[in-house]
Amino acid sequence: MRLLVISGRSGSGKTSALHLLEDEGFTCIDNLPVKLLPALIEQIGDAPHASKHKFAIGIDARNLNSDLSQIESLIKDNLPANAECMVVYLDTSREVLLKRFSETRRKHPLSDQNTGLNEAIAKEKVILEPVAAAADITVDTSHMSLHELRSTIKRLVVGEESKGMAIMFKSFGFKYGVPVDADFIFDVRCLPNPYWSPELRSQSGLEAGVIEFLNSQQEVDDMFDDICSFVQKWAPSFQANNRSYLTVAIGCTGGMHRSVYLAERLAAELKKGYANVQTRHRQLEQKPGA
């Protein structure tokens, strides 16, 4: 039996994630009261061919706060030994949530005549803290389109065949904000910047000119060696602790050159020891035409 718990702040894409999972053959139940989880798990486990069942449960802030505080123990204490469970938490920055609710004119589920949108968003974050703390995977959807969200969920959850831990190297630009879903963040803004070479400015860290420039810098090699050694040293400990996903974020100023180059180089090296190593380049994905 495979059980996915999908949660997150209103407006972060939880419903879209459940629709994708339904398309992929999961039986989806949205807004399940947390106290009903044990009964649902028992019913699924007793069904014929239970080992083949795939369920996705949506849980949000409409649950009672006291119920959400019990989510980790309710899953752990009731899950059969041969079952797999993963908690996926979708997060989005407050500024993006305000914009999304303003553009869609949707009503936040916790807002009313006495509670404005700002207050409802802040209240929801506090209510969902126990779920966020129990999450196996946290996905920051602040800068994702609907297509990117569906693609990410499919890659991380549906298409994950490896039993080992997945490692994601994510490049980003500090000027656009720090990813909230990163387990480790490395700042590489101290390295020589190809941006200051006019012929390299329009290229990215995936292109030959930038790669050649950065390959020639001893400081870049030193930074690569240090980050690579750190990840290689500690990744086994995370995997031994039953972590299914590890996100390593590499940031430079604009997220186009140094961080992209290092994320790709690190991923290539870690692939020698791990079957499921991925890269994502946040700023390249947002670049027009990318």
Q: Which residues are annotated as a binding site for GTP?
A: 60-63
Binding-site sequence positions: 8-15, 60-63
Binding-site sequence positions for ATP: 8-15
Query: By the 8 A CB rule, do 260 and 171 touch?
Result: yes
CA-based torsion, 136, 53, 17, 119: positive or negative: negative
What number of other Cβ atoms are within 10 A of residue 190's Cβ?
10
Q: Give the pairing type, strands 54-59 and 166-173.
A: unpaired
CA–CA dist 266, 264 (Å, integer)? 5
- Could you report how far apart the first and last alpha carbons of the chain are, in Å? 39
User: DSSP string of 229-279?
Assistant: HHHHHHHHHHHHTT--EEEEEEEESSSSSHHHHHHHHHHHHHTTT-S-EEE
DSSP label at residue 135: -
Query: By the 8 A CB rule, do 171 and 229 touch?
Result: no
Query: By the 8 A CB rule, do 179 and 289 touch?
Result: no
CA–CA dist 259, 256 (Å, integer)? 7
Query: By the 8 A CB rule, do 171 and 278 touch?
Result: no
Which has the closest alpha carbon to 153: 20, 4, 15? 20
